[in-house]
Amino acid sequence: MGFFAGTIFMIGTTLGAGFLSGAELVRFFGAENFLPAVLLSSAVFCLLLMLFLRLGKKYGGFEGALKIFGRGKSYVRVFLSALSFIPCAGMLAGLDAIAPNLSPLCSLLGLFAVLLFLRRGMKGIGLLNLLLVPFLLFFVFFAARGGLVFSYPSLKGSPLLGVVYAGMNTLLAAPVLLDAGRTMKKPVLSSLCASAVIGICASCVLGVIYREGAGAIFAELPFLYAMEGSVVFQIASALAILTSLASALYPLLKLCEEFSSSKKKYAAKGFVLLAAFALSRMGLKGIVDSLYPVIGVLGLAFSAVCVFYEYFFDKHDQKVHRRRKQA
């Protein structure tokens, strides 16, 4: 995976329903001035992207990287796969929120389209991102052409929520990032560019929402409100959801492939899809407000454990052995 494809790939894992609708951006960056939180989040996100890509390169992808957890690798894998239910549900809820009158037809059609690409595994996710992400970036920058507003006096929030947002995104994308790390040729440069573009896009989306005012800020789909229900926006949002939905479904379907018989594989996949669809009935706002912050904290904790095992565990282990010998 070259520089351009790698950058597009990482952007595509982030530009989902919550991002392009503005729902999760307002939730995490809803402060009087959102720029400090966006800058801090982009910096942390860049570091975490480099960390997971490095682990994927060193250990040969998601399965290999789990070895750093020793006997607990099976539990970690189940934990990460189970968390993928939440973004899957969020993406499906986002599809239905874009066109409520067509619910649940939109989410079912989107799910079908993503499954077609996922038949090719990581290559399918990469192809989907290459096809859709350039259009999404053009749309975001085009929407910001009327000017941006960077502050809104009545909102209070902490820039540290931006760090939680970075942890959430990297945790949810961890399986695909680790697998992508195996073939990523310029992970550092791609991470820098991807995090910078995502930060700029977040600023554009929030700037448009703040320009519109309280009506947009407190709406279920703030960016859609600011765009006055534009059909082009609805299409762009749906396409953005497909890229993130593919990344979220990937580890779940991959886990299902480990069953020995075809019947069990199909049954497991059917259960996964039905469970994600059932959870999506919470609605996009409910999922973003109640579940995403928890995932963000878990993401930071998981990243801290990865950093410890990768950079400090050997030294810590040697100290323990020396103390045992001395004892």
pTM of full prediction above 0.85: no
Q: Which tens digits make up the pLDDT trace of 244-291?
A: 888 888 888 888 887 778 888 888 888 888 888 888 887 777 777 778
Three-state DSSP class for 205? Answer: helix
Q: Are 250 and 118 in contact (CB under 8 A)?
A: yes
- Residue 215 one-letter amino acid: G
* Structure tokens, 20: 């392009």
Structure letter (DSSP) for residue 206: H
Structural domain of residue 71, as residue ranges?
3-326
Q: 112 burial class (0-12, 13-18, 19+ CB within 10 angstroms)?
A: exposed
- Which residue in 259, 262, 254, 212 sits closest to 233, CA to CA? 212
pLDDT (tens digit per residue) in 154-187: 777 777 888 888 888 888 888 888 888 888 888 8
Residue 114 to residues 108, 144, 147: CA-CA distances in angstroms?
Answer: 10, 29, 34
- List, for residues 197-231, the tens digit of each pLDDT value: 999 999 999 998 888 888 888 887 788 888 876 77
Structural domains counted in the chain: 1
The share of the chain scoring above pLDDT 90, in percent, equals 9
DSSP 164-186: HHHHHHHHHHHHHHHHHTTT-S-
- The domain that contains 89 carries what CATH number? 1.10.4160.10
- Backbone region of residue 31 per phi and psi (left: phi > 0; alpha: psi in -120 to 50; beta: other values): beta
Region 117-129: mean pLDDT is: 84
Per the rule left: phi > 0, alpha: psi between -120 and 50, beta: everything else, 263 is: alpha
pLDDT exceeds cutoff 70 at 326: no
Average pLDDT value for the chain: 82
